[in-house]
Amino acid sequence: MRRFIGRTAVISGAARGMGKAVALRLADEGATVIAVDVNGAGAAATAKEIGGQTLAVQCDIGDPDSVAKLFAAVAGSAEKLDILINVAAIVPFVKWDELTFDEWRRVMRVNLDGLYLMCRAGSEMMRAGGYGRIVNFSSNSIFAGTPNMAHYVASKGGVLTFTRALATELGPYKITANSICPGLIDTEGVQQTPHKDAFDFVEMLQAIKGHGVPQDVVPAVAFLASEEAHWITGQALNVDAGMVRW
């Protein structure tokens, strides 16, 4: 399918993992991709792999000035924005007894403040164009209450509820806002944390057996980012092989 010909998509967290997989898929279906990541070299590598008119932008999404520069670059390059996929997040592993307020704020700054900043700026461009698809990454951990991640679980619960409110605010402008809730996915980031040892336990809880990889999540994102999903907004979709059934 070539569902995104003529569409411009900003994808955060595009240097690796699920963000990169989404960027590759949307580009393959015709989108002009702006690959965004705090890891500028990683974003550039993704853009190079895609080729064409792909733009790489280094951006700290928790910093208002950095986000403003990002969207100035988008406006200067593409002049419009059709799709915003917010993947970038901090995925910590901190025991409750060791969770400090500084660590709490570190995660909230990116996972919630950054989401607000990206949606604030992105939705303004979409309103000007009269079209938009926003897909925010939450997590199925908000239903499972995953241990050693209290601040992450709180932030991702905020993603889900913020997205519902955002859908209400943006519906009159024909802009949809939905969230997806992936389960444990085998990414470079996960492999650098103790979460890498949880795959077998998680698999026992899944209806469909196996270890999740980024390509398992991409189809749901692509659908919600497409014109086909025009009548779907304010929803949360679990993509976790049936670990959480609700």
Helix (H) / strand (E) containing 217: helix 214-224
Q: What are phi and psi of 43, to 5 degrees?
A: -60, -40
Residue 193 gets which letter from DSSP? Answer: S
Catalytic residues: 152
| Domain range summary for the chain, segments of one domain joined by + | 8-239
Residue 110 structure tokens? 């990116």
- What is the model's pLDDT at position 192? 85
- CA-to-CA dists, residue 182 to 80, 157, 201, 212, 218, angstroms: 29, 13, 16, 9, 10
Q: Considering the domain 8-239, what is its CATH architecture?
A: 3-Layer(aba) Sandwich (3.40)
Is residue 239 within 8 Å of 181, Cβ to Cβ?
yes
Give the residue ranges of the chain where pLDDT is below 50: none
- What is the model's pLDDT at position 79? 85
Report the greatest alpha carbon distance in the chain: 50
> Rounded to an integer, what distance in angstroms lies between the CA atom of residue 183 and that of residue 15?
20
Closest CA to 243 of 197, 222, 212: 212
Residues 6+ apart with CB under 8 A from 206: 183, 240, 241, 242, 243
- What is the model's pLDDT at position 85? 98
Amino acid, res. 37? D
- What is the model's pLDDT at position 193? 84
